Structure 1
Amino acid sequence: MVLKRIFTAIGVAAAAFALSLSAASPAAAVPVDAPTPVKSRIEAAAAPDTAAEPRTCRARFAENVNHRLRAEAGSAILGSIPAGTWVQASCTRVAGGEYSACGLSSDFWMEVYWKGNWGHGAWGCVQDWEYTS
């Protein structure tokens, strides 16, 4: 009977110890994101926290911009988007290949719809960007 109590006590202590090891502290459970370096005029623009429904956006570029198939400076050119022309655009930027355009260097691109095709334009050349819905 004494051995049974000792083994029960050991089992309870081991279970309590195992539970204490498996419980993560709240600070350890939250991943830390590194800040994004700001390279252009509008990269700091972010969606409002209250945006729960899908959004649509539009953008216009400060200079003529190549409309590229992929988010890379060496990607195929689908056309040229004239400066000041509003185009349908994604509401977020995408990371891609590094480029220098409009006096800035960046690796962020914006997905844009131009002349029947979705492609990418240099994020650093965006003059204006806004939600349309």
Structure 2
Amino acid sequence: MIKFTKGVILVMKKFFTAIGVVAAAFALSFSVSSSATAAPREPVDVPTPMKSRIESTSVSADPVPANAVEQRTCRARFAEGVNHRRLAEIGATILEVIPAETWVPVSCERGTGGEYSACGLTSDYWMEVYWNGAWGYSAWSCVQDWEYTS
């Protein structure tokens, strides 16, 4: 009788654990889908960037020719408001200030330029950024989030 009771308890534990796992997975999938619908991506009308402003990755799969290239575009947002400069230099003309938390189209690679101190760091890396109809440069050390858009 004791073995039977222990066996039933063990089966019931596994059963309720499985129900809990399924319920947690369901709840998580629901929260992920609802947060995705709650914060839609901001539409961005950006001209097609020049080849210097996109990442090129070689594609070597058959039957694609060896010289084929896939082009990718990116976007980023900055932790603080950052200067949008004409050149990647601290003394370059400031075109505008990009507000914090604003998603903007950017190059998929960082570039080097003049050294600066911003957002608590000193660096010489810059992001090429598209803002209000013009390409320019902003401090890479202030990038909070970055992602491929295509």
Same-fold call, TM > 0.5?
yes
Task: Give, in angstroms, the shift of residue 50 of structure 1.
Answer: 6.8
Distance 1:53 1:83 in 2: 31
Gaps of at least 5 residues in structure 1 are: 1-46
Task: Name the structure with the higher helix share.
Answer: 2
Unpaired runs of at least 5, structure 2: 1-54, 60-68
TM-score normalised according to structure 1 size: 0.62
Which residue of structure 2 lines up, in the alignment, with residue 108 of structure 1? Answer: 125
Separation in structure 2 between the aligned mates of residue 97 and residue 87 of structure 1, nearest angstrom: 22
1:84-95 equivalences under 5 Å are: 84-95=101-112
Question: Which residue type is aligned with residue 134 of structure 2?
Answer: N
Question: Which consecutive segments of 4 or more residues in structure 1 shift more than 4 A?
Answer: 49-52
RMSD value, Cα: 1.8
Determine the C-alpha separation between the residues in 1 that align with 2:73 and 2:136. 16
- Aligned counterpart, 2:90: 73
Q: Percent identity?
A: 69
CA deviations over 1:66-116 (Å, ceiling 9, x no partner): 000000011000000000000000000110000000000000000000000
The structure with the largest alpha-carbon Rg is 1
Structure number with higher relative contact order (C-alpha < 8 Å, ≥ 6 residues apart): 1
